[in-house]
Structures are given as C-alpha cells and as structure tokens.
Amino acid sequence: MTLEDTVIGHHLSSISSGHPGGRPFQLSGSERRPQPIFPRSKRRSIDETVAMLDHLSIQCADVSSSATFYDRVLAPLGGGRVMDFGQVIGFGIPPMPDFWVGPHTTGEGFRESHIAFTAHDRPAVRAFFDAAKAAGAEVLHEPRVWPEYHANYYGAFVRDPDGNNVEAVCHQGEGQAEPETS
C-alpha cells in the first residue's frame, strides 16, 4: 500500500464528490472508493516518512482549556508544548512546533476540523484515548482497527473542547511501531 492510497482513502465518510482544493483523486463507480491519479511510479510507500504540512493552527474559544486538553492527550504520543506565547501555544516534538492553538480572531461561527496525530504504536493510541477520556472529552470512536482504510489502520477519535474531531492513529500492526523520523 502506498502513502497516497492511505491518505486518499482515509476520509471516505466525508467525501461526497470532488475535493475543495482540486481533485487529488477520482471517485469510481458504485464503490465510491477514490482512485489515485498519481502515476504508480510517483507514489511513495507507506514506510517512507514524508510530511506535506509544516504546521497547522486552530482557533479556540478558550485557549487555556484547549491547551490543557492538548497537554494531556499529546503527552502519550511524545508531544507537548514547544513554544508558549500566552494566548498562542505551539505543540509538537521539540525543537519545532507543528500544531498551534490560539484565540478565535477571524471568521464567525464554528467549522469542525479533523486533526489526526501520529501515534508511535497501538498502546500510544490507547493512552491518548485514556488521557482524552480522563480530560472529559466526548468519545467519538474507541480505539480499533479501521480495515476500510487499510489492514493496520488503528485509531481512536474524540472531541476537543471546541468540538473538533481529534484522532490518534498508528499504521502498524499490533506489536509493531511506526518508523522513527529523523
């Protein structure tokens, strides 16, 4: 399985047609399973560590509450606060923050985001889930294998204090760990 197959297949439940940023996939027949349009020769294997995003920021109604939540749930994944500017806090694995929380300053209303954090192994997914429950998070999905994504997709889903769908995911089988990044 390639990285693109995994990423593209990940959000099937939220796909109706097309893609807001272009068409990185094409839907086929009644299966409605995305078909990658990247040539096979250009796809990376799932074992290759490649990051497309440099960082992500979300706006929060209560930065303190959100920061406390992410302090708790990111610790089992090896993450934590890397930079703290009071109302703007960067989380990640030192030295670079790649996930930021800050106050709601633009736009009106709430638009749910789905945020998936990499877990090193399945016990880390379970620890994330336990930490989230202990923090009072609404449980969306308990830790389990999601074979519709791929055979080893193991994830747990909760709501953060702002109502976002937050996930911890491991792409390895039981007893295996994600490859170390450098």
* Token pair 């693109």 in the structure block, residue: 4
pLDDT band at 176 (very low <50, low <70, confident <90, very high): confident
Residue 156 Ramachandran class (φ > 0 left, ψ -120 to 50 alpha, else beta): beta
How close are the terminal C-alpha atoms of the chain, in Å? 22
Is the model's pLDDT at 139 over the cut of 50? yes
Under 8 Å CB-to-CB from 64, ≥6 apart: which residues? none
In sequence order, the β-bridge partners of residue 118 are: 169
From the number of C-beta atoms within 10 Å of its C-beta (0-12, 13-18, 19+), residue 74 rates as: buried
Are 25 and 37 contacting, i.e. CB atoms less than 8 angstroms apart? yes
Comparison of pLDDT for 181 and 162, the residue scoring more: 162
Reported as a single tens digit per residue, the pLDDT across 72-125 is: 999 999 999 999 999 999 999 988 899 999 999 888 888 889 999 999 999 999
What is the pLDDT at residue 6?
A: 34
In sequence order, the β-bridge partners of residue 28 are: 33
Reported as a single tens digit per residue, the pLDDT across 2-59 is: 433 333 333 333 322 233 333 333 334 444 444 444 444 444 454 555 567 889 999 9
* Token pair 């989380």 in the structure block, residue: 91
Extract the tokens encoding 132.
Answer: 């989230």
What is the pLDDT at residue 179?
A: 67
pLDDT band at 131 (very low <50, low <70, confident <90, very high): very high
Alpha carbon distance 53, 48 (integer Å) = 15
* Token pair 């089988």 in the structure block, residue: 173
Reported as a single tens digit per residue, the pLDDT across 85-95 is: 999 999 999 88
The domains located in the chain, with CATH, are 1-50 (no CATH), 52-182 (3.10.180.10)
